[in-house]
Amino acid sequence: MREANRIGVSILDAICSEVRPGVATIRFEEIAQDLCRACHVQPAFHGYDGFPFAVCCSVNEEVVHGFPSATRLLHEGDIVSFDFGVIYEGFYSDCARTLGVGEISGQARRLIRVTEECLALGIAEARPGRYLHDISRSVQIHAEKNGYAVIKRFVGHGVGRKLHEKPEIPNFEASRLYPLPLKAGMVLAIEPMLALGTCEVEILPDTWTAVTKDRKLAAHCEHSVAVTSRGPEILSLPAGKGYGAV
Ligand code: MG
């Protein structure tokens, strides 16, 4: 899974490096497909439950599962999130990031920063002796303290030989009645999604793209994290940053 994530993140880095005003979002799909071929890995999302692309590309009010498009151009001030994973020797990687396009508003910058902070706080709880709801609670508290709503419709998940394994990892505290202790050897995809306004989402007629009901901005970030006896090990850090322990 380290190797799956190393490859997956190197492709995600290449996708992110092409973000600029004027680019059509289908460009990111082309990069993803080309590099999967070059690296001899399969894109994890293409065909998953019928999802028609290798990369999820979600712009502004799109929360997750957006489609890359030949007609949708990125504009200065947009924010764009990518969710991407690969299958390497039977194991899945999974990672997501939100980036600004050119100069973005202070409001958008703050939303992205707090989403990343929520992820870091959730990861810090991913250690033996803690419970699943410790991750959920730390994400929710930080988001709400900063005035944002956590999206409840989509949750993180275990990841391994399948893309979505048990347990579900909500970004809100919902699982206290059945406390699940975290154990070394688990790999968790922790993925907070925060919204500027309402947490309610609707699905566009393409049956995939989730947008905020009020069409205000949303941000999403995700790491695949191994729970180890030494603490959390982030498998999906960008190249050069190693496998981090928080
Ligand atoms: Mg995921």
Q: For 20-60, how does the pLDDT look when each residue is reduced to its tens digit (9 = 90+)?
A: 999 999 999 999 999 999 999 999 999 999 999 999 999 99
Percent of the chain scoring above 70 in pLDDT? 96
pLDDT digits (tens, 9 = 90+) for 143-184: 999 999 999 999 999 999 999 999 999 999 876 667 899 999
Of residues 132, 82, 77, 140, the one with CA closest to residue 109? 77
Tokens 């080309």 locate to 34
In the predicted structure, residue 205 carries a pLDDT above the cut 90: yes
CA distance 228 to 123: 12
**Cα atoms found within 13 Å of the Cα of residue 99, Cβ hemisphere only:** 19
CA 187 to centroid of ligand 1, rounded, Å: 12
Task: Report the 3 state secondary structure along 157-198.
Answer: EECCCCCCEEEEECCCCCCCCCCCECCCCCEEEECCEEECCC
Q: What domains appear along the chain, each with residue ranges and CATH number? A: 2-234 (3.90.230.10)
Of residues 194, 205, 152, the one with CA closest to residue 61? 194
In the predicted structure, residue 246 carries a pLDDT above the cut 70: no
CA 212 to centroid of ligand 1, rounded, Å: 19
Task: Report the 3 state secondary structure along 121-152.
Answer: HHHHCCCCCCEHHHHHHHHHHHHHHCCCEECC
Average pLDDT, whole number, for the chain? 96
CA distance 198 to 155: 17
- The CB density around residue 183, as the number of other CB atoms within 10 Å, is 11
pLDDT bin (cut points 50, 70, 90) of residue 238 is confident
CA 151 to centroid of ligand 1, rounded, Å: 14
What mean pLDDT do residues 133-142 have?
97
CA 214 to centroid of ligand 1, rounded, Å: 24
What mean pLDDT do residues 203-215 have?
98
In the predicted structure, residue 245 carries a pLDDT above the cut 50: no
- The CB density around residue 90, as the number of other CB atoms within 10 Å, is 9
Higher local confidence (pLDDT), 175 or 201 = 201
CA 55 to centroid of ligand 1, rounded, Å: 12
